[in-house]
Structure 1
């Protein structure tokens, strides 16, 4: 599949940024450090060309991540009721709907991370029972495009019976939705295809975990 020029530039910039980050982690020669700093700046310049924004904006998005560059890990947890409705939460950041979830924190297991996210963002206690899929964010076409690689882990969960108010910091409201009545989705976090695969795994727990 051929890529449009802007997407080709974006991918090249991500690769350059990762090389620069890893190089800065290992380099101990001041000339090498200077070269990697210049490579880092070039990556931001290319991201500005491909995706708009500003150098300062991309610097902020790339953040203070250091060390060898690896994909970030995003975990999402799904509770599905007897009517095959999925529990969604409306994001305070963009006003759209998503499965509860977010970045996995250091020292958390994937299951611990997703169970905490479900409880905090919906108020429902949950236990992770199955890894439905491990999918690459770019490969699945999520937008907007970001300047780093992300693996998205989707877990099927079971309710523990605990129900309380969600944390107001991130969540505007929660609700149960069938696949034929989905609200406007937060496209950077979830899409209808992924929700469909979750319901399929809810119907048949013997399905194997899916991955890119």
Structure 2
């Protein structure tokens, strides 16, 4: 995966130390109710579309940008469905990162689903009853994206306040 210039410059100063970064996941649905997924080039697994926010970029803009960059599909972000901190990740080069993920339900408005960059091996639309293995991260996000418009945004409840 290409590392954005701002992150490369930051890593020059902090090395492999844990970085806490804002990230987004974009759940893109078409008019037939199918969801757009990509098969990642780094893991070979099917995944939801996502990425990190550039400095000064609004999270909804990040979601729309990532969808276009990775899949060639034009989308609009309709609503936030979930906010959650991810588990820490250690990359093969030793970099450690954790993300504050903001998940958006998005609607496809144009373009053709295709491999649009080197982050994907494949891009495809899936019926919800024929999803590939996504794991709990993906399934939780899809579940909340399917809630009716106006449903509250899901977040991990705070611990005891006593």
TM-score, length-scaled by structure 1: 0.57
1:193 is matched with which residue: 126, 134, 140?
A: 140
Aligned-pair CA distance for 1:160? 2.1
- What is the match of residue 103 of structure 1? 52
> 156, 161, 167: which one pairs with 2:110?
161
Q: Post-superposition shift, 1:167?
A: 1.8
Tell me which structure has the larger Cα radius of gyration: 1
Quote the residue 1:86 is aligned against. Answer: 35
Q: What's the secondary structure of 1:175's corresponding residue?
A: strand
Which of 175, 178, 201 matches 2:124? 175
Partner SS, residue 114 of structure 1:
helix
Shift of 1:162: 2.9
Separation in structure 2 between the aligned mates of residue 177 and residue 194 of structure 1, nearest angstrom: 15
Q: Which has the higher contact order (CA 8 A, sep 6+)?
A: 2
**Distance of aligned partners of 1:163 and 1:178 in 2 relative to their CA distance in 1, 3 Å threshold:** closer
CA distance in 2, matches of 1:128, 1:82: 15
Alignment of 1:1-212 (within 5 A): 63-64=11-12, 66=14, 71-138=20-87, 145-146=89-90, 147-163=96-112, 165-185=114-134, 190-200=137-147, 204-212=148-156
Q: Which has the higher strand share?
A: 2
Aligned residues: 140
Q: Is the 8 A contact 1:84 1:199 kept in 2?
A: no
What is the TM-score with the length of structure 2 in the denominator? 0.73
Q: 2:160 matched to which residue of 1?
A: none
Q: RMSD in angstroms over aligned alpha carbons?
A: 2.7
Residue 83 of structure 1, CA deviation: 4.2
1:180 is displaced (CA, Å) by: 2.9
Alpha carbons of structure 1 residues 65 and 196: separation in structure 2 relative to 1, 3 Å: farther
